[in-house]
Chains A and B, each alone.
Chain A
């Protein structure tokens, strides 16, 4: 089956620093990837849609300058949380779409101290 990986799986950073999270489709090419955010005991909220070779489309209320998304190739999308603050601490999950179905990565837990 289609496999999506994320790196790192867990990251702790200091307030004010930036963190990059990678999302890779391992055995297929994905023209579209999605980034979600999940708070503890809550559902997933779509942050943005990432299309290869073009700018990401952000959902309402998501700061484009804070959450930088780059989809440089058909197998890699990155999410950079810039100038992170404790309220950015969350579980970030990506998914890759192929043939109409989304395959999810294992998630990255970000803790900002």
Chain B
């Protein structure tokens, strides 16, 4: 079975500063990796995904993530955050059965 660890439960950051959210996974087989964002009382929106190919993945809203197989990591970054980026972020992993296993989530709070 696969699992996901998000290393930071809360990340406060100032507006226009960069942010990095860390995600490590564990799996005995090849995985697909995802980052989702959840705004209060809403469902999840896909930010980006890694299925294969280039290890640097660009997503929506200026986010990007890098897949590092040797370190089993998939960290999410944004060079300059906005107040509207305040949300909960979830890293997730799946294998061929398409079932998603989610990390515990990282709360990003952007301050002016």
Real binding pair: yes
Q: Which residues of A contact B (CB under 8 A)?
A: 4, 6, 32, 34, 41-46, 49, 91, 93, 95, 97, 100-107, 109
Shortest Cβ distance from residue B32 to the other chain A in the assembled complex, whole angstroms: 8
A106 and B99 contact, CB distance less than 8 A: no
Q: In chain B, residues 63-112, which have Cβ atoms closer than 8 Å to a Cβ of chain A? A: 90, 98-105
Tell whether A100 pairs with B98 under 8 Å between CB atoms, given A42-B105, A43-B103, A44-B90: yes
Determine whether B45 belongs to the interface, using a CB cutoff of 8 Å to chain A.
yes
Question: Which residues on the A side are within 8 Å of B103 (C-beta)?
Answer: 43
Residues of B within 8 A of A34 (CB): 99-100
Contact pick for B43, options A43, A101, A106, CB 8 Å: A106
Given A43-B90, A46-B99, A49-B99, check contact A109 B41 (CB 8 Å).
Answer: yes
**How far does the Cβ of A15 sit from chain B's closest Cβ, in whole Å?**
23
**Cα A109 to Cα B41 with chains together (Å):** 8
Interface residues of B (CB under 8 A from A): 36, 41-46, 49, 51, 90, 98-105
Chain B residues positioned under 8 Å from A97 (CB to CB): 98
Complex CA–CA separation, A93 to B41 (angstroms): 11
Q: What is the predominant secondary structure among interface residues of chain B facing chain A?
A: loop
The interface residues of chain B lying within 8 Å CB-to-CB of A44 are 44, 90, 100, 102
Could you tell me the distance in whole angstroms from the C-beta of B55 to the nearest C-beta in chain A?
A: 19
- Known contacts A46-B100, A97-B98; A107 and B105 CB within 8 A of each other: no
Contact A43:B104 (CB < 8 A) given known A101-B46, A104-B45, A106-B43: yes
With both chains docked as a complex, state the minimum distance between the C-beta of A71 and any C-beta of chain B, in angstroms: 15
Q: Is the CB of A42 within 8 A of B104?
A: yes
Chain A's closest residue to B90 (CB) is A43
Cross-chain contact B105 with A104 (CB below 8 angstroms) = no
Q: Which residue on B lies nearest to A46, using beta carbons?
A: B99
Beyond contacts A103-B46, A107-B41: 9 other A-B pairs, Cβ-Cβ < 8 A, are A4-B43, A42-B104, A43-B103, A43-B104, A44-B44, A44-B102, A93-B44, A102-B100, A107-B42
